[in-house]
Structure 1
């Protein structure tokens, strides 16, 4: 990279940005039914009362609208953070740089992701209500802050996910490369990423359950305050340890892909 040049000056940056956004939209829409099942499994009223297998595309407009800017915000922040930190390529700090960049990217992306997620999850457990109606009700009852309910719990979930996924993915690729004595192919990198994403989803599922409970909680309730430990304690009281793992299988599939 030329001195003084930033990520935006690199050839193909715009193409990569567009591709990342389109990929984000495609994945979210294709795997939306799994996301709906996960949300209903994690909801306080239980899977069947939340809608079961009916209306599994409820809330898809919110996901479709928020997915592209969310993916773009993460990609831009991730690339610029790596550029500003830019350790030497041989430095042991390279993995740390990727982890820090991913964490900063998640914090910024959540500014877009959380409002979309709040509306989407409420639509998923209230299939009879339209996305716009739910959005309007949130603004009327809670104001703008209602759209950001669960921001802290979402960030607390996304950062550990990235910290687990990225180092594991890189380690698996390096191990596979050494075993076959050449750089991994694209499908091998994808396989490593799928395993890393699935493992990270298992580790962070309790935080994902807390996020869902906070976003779906009734206005004024204790859980709606956004306290993650309080939300986890409520889940533990009603469902034990297994209650904190609700939706883990669907989370593994979605995150791995």
Structure 2
């Protein structure tokens, strides 16, 4: 990646991140409160759904910028013409590296945001590992699917997809990834919102999932799946479509 590509990825990714976070923040608040062990109403219901938005806005630009700079760099470095079947693996690895770098920026603002949304106590260090555990599986599904859908659409129409088509692919990829990783999101939320002396607060994802399964069953593991899918589908449309459009304009 040359200097020009670096600044293009940084700017396009950062602006896309700010746009999607500000637009979809209320849905994220509702999702977090649905997953809270306190229950939706006791966590605030629909009151103050923009609580914590300043911390999210401040973290959005560097978080998204760091992800896409790393993603594009790793994608270029790992790219091979040997076999098209290896492309999804390249995208999975690039997305994983991108998420690790982005999480170092995302986690502090995520802790502040969820404290404001539900008012619990959390440990930033503990949240780092659990955010990585959730975000990497999500990206392992979302980005290879996004790239594959774009390639398929491009092949069918005989030319590279337009930005709006990239956005549609992003919506489908995001929605699917959101659905299959909802239990991990529930576990992360429960850990972040757990009382300091509770078993859940230890930060063990499997233990948190088991606890939810025992007390609430399958419905508990998929708590908030509808607003999560709605938010991330719309988010994928805005985020990846905006990134693609700004990147093309800057290039």
Normalised by the length of structure 2, the TM-score is 0.86
> What is the match of residue 75 of structure 1?
68
Name which of structure 1's ranges 166-175 and 150-159 shifts more when overlaid on structure 2.
166-175
Decide which of 140, 144, 153 is 1:163's aligned counterpart.
Answer: 140
Decide which of 81, 85, 100 is 1:107's aligned counterpart.
Answer: 100
What aligned pairs does 1:83-102 form with structure 2 within 5 A after superposition?
A: 83-88=76-81, 91-102=84-95
Count of aligned pairs: 234
**1:103-157 deviation per Cα after TM superposition (whole angstroms, max 9, x unaligned):** 011011111111211111111013xxxxxxx8xx86xxxxxxx212222221121
Structure 1, unmatched stretches of 5+, are 1-6, 127-133, 139-145
Q: Is the 8 A contact 1:118 1:148 kept in 2?
A: no
Matched, 1:253 2:230: yes
Decide which of 158, 167, 177 is 1:200's aligned counterpart.
Answer: 177
Q: Is the 8 A contact 1:58 1:124 kept in 2?
A: yes
Name which of structure 1's ranges 106-115 and 74-83 shifts more when overlaid on structure 2.
74-83
Decide which of 122, 133, 137 is 2:115's aligned counterpart.
Answer: 122
Query: Quick one: distance in 2 between partners of 1:188 and 1:254?
Result: 19
Query: Quick one: distance in 2 between partners of 1:217 and 1:119?
Result: 15
Secondary structure at the aligned position of 1:148 is classed as helix
Q: Is the 8 A contact 2:212 2:220 kept in 1?
A: yes
Structure 1 or 2: more helix by fraction: 2
Q: Is the 8 A contact 1:119 1:147 kept in 2?
A: no
Matched, 1:180 2:173: no
Q: Is the 8 A contact 1:60 1:120 kept in 2?
A: yes
> What is the match of residue 186 of structure 2?
209
| Larger gyration radius, structure 1 or structure 2 | 1
Pick 1 or 2: higher relative contact order, CA cutoff 8 A, min separation 6.
2
RMSD of the alignment, in Å?
A: 2.0
Q: Is the 8 A contact 2:6 2:69 kept in 1?
A: no
> What is the match of residue 23 of structure 2?
30
Decide which of 125, 132, 153 is 2:130's aligned counterpart.
Answer: 153
